[in-house]
Amino acid sequence: MIKKNLLIAVAAAWLALAAGAGDAGPPTAPNGIVMVQGYREWQLVAPSFRPDKEHIRVILGNEAAIKACRSGARPFPDGAVFAKIAWKTRKHPEYPDAVIPGPFAQVEFMIKDAGKYKETGGWGFARFVGQELRPYGRDPGFARECFACHEPLAGNDFVFTVLAEVP
């Protein structure tokens, strides 16, 4: 009887593992945009601070995005991707005048593909929330909410952030 229970327990463990493996793909937004890899190494476009959300943020860009930011070419070329990373703010424990990143809050992407995303200015939007990178939105229509906010920026191809320049 002990042997049979052991066999059942082992089988159950394997089943759980198999079920887990089935879920192990990267997080995917309701519009099919898969969590982007390697974005943390991209170059800086600019930092920002959102007191209303208690977020400190940076906008990074892949090579195509940064190149277009520098040259001023608009619209951005297909393949340009921006990543906006937000952390909850905290005071530096050794220097409380400085507001610095606390826990990760979310990361948002804008992915340029003029054909594929023509309903939303040629940009695919995605947001992944919290440490578990939970995809934002119930269905593909969530991107209309993103685009509504970006729409007034038509003059900069719907992008809020400009390159923070140095002399």
* Two structure tokens written together for 51: 């007191």
Smallest separation (angstroms) from a second copy to the CB of 157: 13
92 lies in the binding site for a second copy (CB under 8 A):
yes
Q: How far is CA 61 from CA 55, 76, 151, 157, in A?
A: 19, 12, 20, 15
Nearest CA to 44 out of 59, 34, 65, 33 is that of: 59
Phi/psi for 143 (5° steps) reads -65, -20
Alpha helices in the chain (DSSP H): 2-22, 63-71, 142-150
Among 64, 75, 88, 101, binds a second copy (CB under 8 A): 101
Alpha-carbon distance of 91 to 83, in angstroms, equals: 24
Q: Segment 24-53, which members bind a second copy (CB under 8 A)? A: 39-41, 43-44, 46-52
115 lies in the binding site for a second copy (CB under 8 A):
no
Site track for a second copy across 144-163, x = CB under 8 A: -----x--xx------xx--
23 lies in the binding site for a second copy (CB under 8 A):
no
Where do contacts with a second copy occur on this chain (CB under 8 A)? 39-41, 43-44, 46-52, 56-58, 60, 85, 87, 89, 92, 94-95, 97-101, 104, 107, 131-133, 149, 152-153, 160-161, 164-167
